[in-house]
Amino acid sequence: MRKLEGRLVIATHNAGKLWEMRDLLAPHGLDAVSAGDLGLAEPEETGETFHANAELKALAAAQAAGLPALADDSGLCVEGLGGAPGIYSARWAEVAPGGPRDFAAAMEKLETALTEIGATPPFAAHFVSVMTLAWPDGTVESFEGKVFGTLVFPPRGMLGFGYDPIFLPEGLTRTFGEMMAAEKQAIPADGSPALSHRARAFQAFARAYL
Ligand code: IMP
């Protein structure tokens, strides 16, 4: 397998993800540049799975930049809602289609949806991240990470991004919104699984390419 060296595009326009992916890549000595910094357009997420969307984002960036590109497609899946919002997690937060995102409203919408179906706590949920590495020649490889937990209402904590304030990882007492990035994203030195879905997907990617 080709090892990664030199320049790598982080194929995201999401500030929260970019921050986390930069942190994860930092110890590996790559020259990571974001899709935004390169002025790349954000492709439309037309896929119906996390894998399909991660691949299309990574490929679009790799081919436009002529560099290897790493994309993440991720989302929150609520078991009681049949896995929603899932691949639509970002779109659930749009105030109007394609418009700005309001995650406080999206978290309220989730609580309302659970109330409407008569669900009672604990509200089982998991985050998924699929990370895809694409090369300019069209080769792609994907890695998946998941973290299971429950949803808490009202949201707790101002750290993190997106749905972090309502997600309580299994066995822990603080939501992702109450954790410092270093805790949510930590990669254990002994090779045991990381906590967050994105860090878990990254561990698999790093074992293959770094
Ligand atoms: P997409 O992968 O660009 O479709 O966006 C995924 C969406 O899922 C993000 O905009 C967030 O709303 C949500 N999401 C993914 N990962 C996380 C996370 O680590 N914390 C909180 N929300 C997340």
- Edge-first strand order for the sheet with 69-78 is 31-34, 7-10, 69-78, 123-134, 140-151, 167-169
All residues at 6 or more sequence positions from 16 whose CB lies less than 8 Å from its CB, including other chains = 160, 161, 162
* Burial class, 95, CB count within 10 angstroms (exposed 0-12 / middle 13-18 / buried 19+): exposed
127 close to ligand 1 (CB < 6 Angstrom): yes
Question: Which protein residue has the closest C-alpha to ligand 1 atom 23?
Answer: 162
Q: Using pLDDT thresholds of 50, 70 and 90, give the confidence band for residue 162.
A: very high
178 close to ligand 1 (CB < 6 Angstrom): no
Q: Quick one: which atom of ligand 1 is closest to the CA of 45?
A: 4
At 54 the three-state DSSP class reads helix
Share of the chain above pLDDT 70, in %: 100
**Quick one: average pLDDT of 50-76?**
98
What's the mean pLDDT when you consider all of the chain? 96
pLDDT digits (tens, 9 = 90+) for 30-44: 999 999 999 999 999
Phi then psi for 50, rounded to 5 degrees? -60, -40
d(CA 59, CA 170): 34
Please, what sign has the CA dihedral across residues 78, 88, 55, 35? negative
Q: Which residues are catalytic?
A: 73
d(CA 142, CA 90): 20
Which of 14-18, 85-89, 129-133, 175-179 has the lowest average pLDDT? Answer: 14-18
pLDDT digits (tens, 9 = 90+) for 98-148: 889 999 999 999 999 999 999 999 999 999 999 999 999 999 999 999 999
**Quick one: average pLDDT of 58-65?**
98
Pocket test for ligand 1, best of 12, 17, 88, 202 (most atoms within 8 A of CB): 17
Cis peptide, bond prior to residue 85, ω within 30 of zero: yes
Q: Walk me through the domains of the chain, giving residue ranges and CATH numbers.
A: 7-209 (3.90.950.10)
**Quick one: average pLDDT of 47-75?**
98
Q: Has residue 173 got a pLDDT over 90?
A: yes
Rounded-to-10 torsion of CA 13, 48, 161, 154: 160
Q: Alpha carbon of 190 to those of 25, 44, 186, 194, 203: distances in Å?
A: 18, 38, 12, 10, 12
73 close to ligand 1 (CB < 6 Angstrom): yes
d(CA 191, CA 76): 25
At 190 the three-state DSSP class reads coil
- 71 CA distance to ligand 1 centroid (A)? 12
Q: Has residue 3 got a pLDDT over 90?
A: no
Contact present, 123 and 130 (Cβ < 8 Å): no
pTM, entire model: 0.96
Residue whose structure tokens are 């707790």: 156
pLDDT at res. 1:
65
